[in-house]
Amino acid sequence: MAKDYNLIANEVIKNIGGADNVKALTHCVTRLRFVLKDTSKADKEKLESIDGVMKVIEAGGQTQVVIGQDVTKAFDAVMALPEAAVWQSGVSAEEDDADVKDIVAENKKKAKKNVLGDKFVEYVSAIFTPFMGAFMGAGLLKGFLVLFVTIGLLSKESSTYTILYGAADGVFYFLPIFIAYTAGKKFGAQHFVTMAIAAALVYPNVVALKGAEEAVTYLGLPVKMISYTSSVLPIIVAAYVQAKWEKLLKKIMPEVISGIIIPLLDLIVIFPLVLLVVGPVTDFVGTGLAKVIETGLNTVPILAGFAMAALWPVMIIFGVHWGLIPICMNNYAVLGYDYILPLTVGTNFGIAAATFAVFLRAKNKKLRELSGAAAVSAFIGGVTEPAIYGVLLERKKVFAAMCIINGIGGALCAVMHVTRDVQMSVNALTLPAIYAVYGGWAIVAIAISLAGAFGVSFVTFKEAK
């Protein structure tokens, strides 16, 4: 039965403490993220009892209402309410409002959470979530191109391949520009100027300096050129420094000329600073971090792979899985491939299989309806939050068994050095591309998760009386 998102919107606002308690609203892939004036007014139990709401989480100074893959429908319904006109909305609403910043900070203080960890996840989510759809689409297209070349449907020498590869690789090559927009907004910098700085980093003549025979200098200072195409860390740090720089300039510069002079000073100061300092330092840090993780995986691959895959559903629960995205993006830039997320290639399938087992065993009509839809969501769409929050989390034995089975697949991937060179979604529809990009051992890991998680969940599930 189709969900009434207008009803859901009204019930959420009613139990969040009313419209007057809402300061700002944003959303990510699966969650409505409320910034509330008083978090104590939100009734968590009533919110979680709403048909269409899976879970309510307090994190990052926000009250996060987990909806699932249809979160945009719920968001649009909430924003269509008459009282929503007074709220700020969008991916980065709160960054432009000092009052909201204060409320977020106060909410974090009240919650007594790990503020540093919350802040890290909050920033990573805000920076990477907005363009993740384009990223996944491009990654999937890359995967299929590899498959088509492998089976002989396409030649790398054909113009068709060149055109399609351009569509697939463009977002990766110009990744700093995408990050510049979201990071600039998140840190409070003039984000279009941040984009201009990122565009300068991947400008062909600047890129060519890396291979120049003569030493590169700027005003007599030596410049260590690195590859900025597909890079992640340099532009994020640049956006942060730019925001601080602009804040300083606004204090000392007359407002009548600031709109013209500040962007000019950004380009004159921040761009060379990135080339001279930020780029080399972040390259050293990123390379070092990649080596440390790679050494750990090479030293104890079975343990590392098992832990990564087994704990992945737990990471999703707390939203900390986003914290690994910058590391994986950095791996693509530094190594040309990633070896961290491939360890979890079977987890979506394990979650889907466990949820499907619940669907087959359950007699309760509501549970069957929920578990069936959640299993399809995880298996076909790769969206696992409905299955985790709505079905598995309350059934601890099933959840634990599923995690252990996924860990076995992760250990196998670690031992067999499964990697991928593109970011792509993992679900049933992408299995051919997964085989082409990850290799055969990834398919074995998926089979282990599917068969094992279904079997143990079918056996361990007991319906509450």
Q: Are residues 276 and 314 in the same domain?
A: no
Q: How far apart (Å, rounded) are the C-alpha atoms in residues 303 and 323?
A: 20
Joined tokens for residue 150: 């492998």
Residue 121: inside a domain: no
Q: Which of 176-185, 225-234, 351-360, 405-414 has the lowest mean pLDDT?
A: 225-234
Q: Is the pLDDT confidence value at 442 over 70?
A: yes
- Residue 329 in contact with residue 291, Cβ under 8 Å? no
> Which residue's structure tokens are 């361990």?
460
For residue 30, what are the domain limits? 5-113
- At 359 the pLDDT is 93
Predicted TM-score (pTM) of this structure:
0.63
Residue 314: inside a domain: yes
Q: Is the pLDDT confidence value at 174 over 70?
A: yes
- At 164 the pLDDT is 92
Q: Is the pLDDT confidence value at 111 over 50?
A: no
Q: How far apart (Å, rounded) are the C-alpha atoms in residues 362 and 465?
A: 11
- Residue 104 in contact with residue 122, Cβ under 8 Å? no
- At 88 the pLDDT is 47
Residue 353: inside a domain: yes
- At 117 the pLDDT is 52
Which range of 110-114, 151-155, 321-325 scores highest in mean pLDDT? It is 151-155
Q: Is the pLDDT confidence value at 315 over 90?
A: no
- At 95 the pLDDT is 41
**What is the tens place of the pLDDT at every residue in 411-433?**
999 999 999 988 777 888 888 88
Q: Is the pLDDT confidence value at 89 over 60?
A: no
Q: Are residues 452 and 348 in the same domain?
A: yes
- Considering only CA atoms, which of 171, 162, 161, 169 is closest in space to residue 142? 169
Q: How far apart (Å, rounded) are the C-alpha atoms in residues 17 and 4?
A: 21
Q: Is the pLDDT confidence value at 385 over 80?
A: no
- At 39 the pLDDT is 84
Q: Is the pLDDT confidence value at 445 over 70?
A: yes
Over range 191-207, report the average pLDDT. Answer: 94
Q: Are residues 204 and 316 in the same domain?
A: no
Q: Are residues 446 and 305 in the same domain?
A: yes
CA–chain centroid gap for 69, Å, is: 14
Q: Is the pLDDT confidence value at 307 over 80?
A: yes
- At 344 the pLDDT is 93
**What is the tens place of the pLDDT at every residue in 339-355?**
888 999 999 999 999 99
Q: Is the pLDDT confidence value at 160 over 70?
A: yes
Residues 6 or more apart whose CB falls under 8 angstroms from that of 436 comprise: 143, 144, 146, 147, 150
Confidence label for 306 from pLDDT (cuts 50, 70 and 90): very high
Residue 426: inside a domain: yes
**What is the tens place of the pLDDT at every residue in 35-50?**
888 888 888 888 888 8
Q: Are residues 358 and 455 in the same domain?
A: yes
Q: Are residues 208 and 332 in the same domain?
A: no
- Residue 161 in contact with residue 154, Cβ under 8 Å? yes
Over range 115-135, report the average pLDDT. Answer: 68
Q: Are residues 281 and 310 in the same domain?
A: no
Q: How far apart (Å, rounded) are the C-alpha atoms in residues 192 and 268?
A: 15
- At 109 the pLDDT is 54
Last residue of a domain, one of 256, 285, 314: 285
Q: Are residues 405 and 436 in the same domain?
A: yes
Q: Are residues 207 and 244 in the same domain?
A: yes
Over range 69-78, report the average pLDDT. Answer: 84
Over range 390-408, report the average pLDDT. Answer: 89
Q: Which of 108-117, 120-129, 247-256 has the lowest mean pLDDT?
A: 108-117
Confidence label for 1 from pLDDT (cuts 50, 70 and 90): low
Q: Which of 58-62, 183-187, 403-407, 417-421 has the lowest mean pLDDT?
A: 58-62
What count of other Cβ atoms lies within 10 Å of the Cβ of residue 133? 11
Residue 24: inside a domain: yes
- At 439 the pLDDT is 92
Pairing of strands 31-36, 62-66: antiparallel
CA distance to 106, 189, 195, 247, per residue, from 258 (Å): 32, 14, 19, 11
Last residue of a domain, one of 255, 285, 315: 285
Angle between helices 115-128 and 98-111 (to 10 degrees): 140
- Residue 271 in contact with residue 200, Cβ under 8 Å? yes
Residues 178-212: b if buried by 16+ CB within 10 A, e if exposed: bbbbbbbbbbbbbbebbbbbbebbbeeebeeeeee
Q: Are residues 273 and 305 in the same domain?
A: no
Residue 245: inside a domain: yes
Q: How far apart (Å, rounded) are the C-alpha atoms in residues 137 and 126?
A: 19
Number of domains in the chain: 3
- At 91 the pLDDT is 38
In DSSP terms, 65 is beta-bridged to 32, 56
Q: Are residues 108 and 27 in the same domain?
A: yes
Average pLDDT, the chain: 83
Residue 65: inside a domain: yes
Confidence label for 465 from pLDDT (cuts 50, 70 and 90): low
- At 200 the pLDDT is 95
Q: Return the DSSP state at 216.
A: P
Over range 390-406, report the average pLDDT. Answer: 89
- For residue 66, report the phi and psi dihedrals to the nearest 5 degrees: -80, 120
- At 351 the pLDDT is 94
The larger pLDDT score, comparing residue 128 to residue 98, is at 128
Q: Are residues 343 and 254 in the same domain?
A: no
